[in-house]
Structure 1
């Protein structure tokens, strides 16, 4: 069940991060303003909506019986971690403090960003499968 959940959450992440993210959200989600927070939280909510839809489909089609409260907790985790990672400063801080300044200067932040998102999704999948 873990692998199926993880794949559905990963597909949900890809759908929300690429075709589901507007140019406005991508440009402003890290801005330090009410406008930036609105773009950020709207984008995170898209992740929660898409992932919840895919988990509901998995629950129906694959015969799962995901309990409601843990599922809600996992979805809140996905939304909160996605929002935090997309503020960009955590990724920048990580790269500046772990010997990755050159990688950061050459476009590596997008890769570290995606790795952090995958780690959060795998955590959610492990939680739901436990």
Structure 2
């Protein structure tokens, strides 16, 4: 069940992060003020809805997916919250600065560290759902 849940959440993540993310969200989700927080919250909500739909589809269509509603709600809150924090960009910048990756950050590495952090959060969600 873990593999199915992880794939469902990962595909939903990719959909929410790329084709379902608006230009406004991408440009402003790390900005200060109302516009930044609003863009960030809407983007995180897109992840929650998309991952929720993926979990519902998996539960309905796959024999090996049987999830608890309270655990699913917790996993979706986790996904939305971690996505919102990571996308404020300062956690990735902090990580790269404190792990000797400053040069890589200046040459496009932040996007890769960002995605790795999101995938790690999805891993935790999939583990919780399959436990």
Question: TM-score, normalization: structure 2?
Answer: 0.98
Equivalent in the alignment of 1:25: 25
Cα distance between partner residues in 2 of 1:61 and 1:107: 39
Equivalent in the alignment of 1:67: 68
Output the aligned Cα RMSD. Answer: 0.6
Equivalent in the alignment of 1:109: 110
How far is the alpha carbon of 1:32 from its aligned partner? 1.1
How far is the alpha carbon of 1:35 from its aligned partner? 0.9
* Residue 55 (str. 1) matches residue 64 (str. 2): no
5+ long unaligned stretches in structure 2: none
Cα distance between partner residues in 1 of 2:34 and 2:62: 41
Deviations 1:73-115 (A, max 9, x none): 0000000000000000000000000110110111100000000
Q: Which consecutive segments of 4 or more residues in structure 1 shift more than 2 A?
A: none
Cα distance between partner residues in 2 of 1:59 and 1:84: 28
Equivalent in the alignment of 2:86: 85
Cα distance between partner residues in 2 of 1:13 and 1:68: 20
SS in 2 for 1:74: helix
How far is the alpha carbon of 1:65 from its aligned partner? 2.7
Superposed counterparts of 1:117-128, under 5 Å: 117-128=118-129
Equivalent in the alignment of 2:45: 45
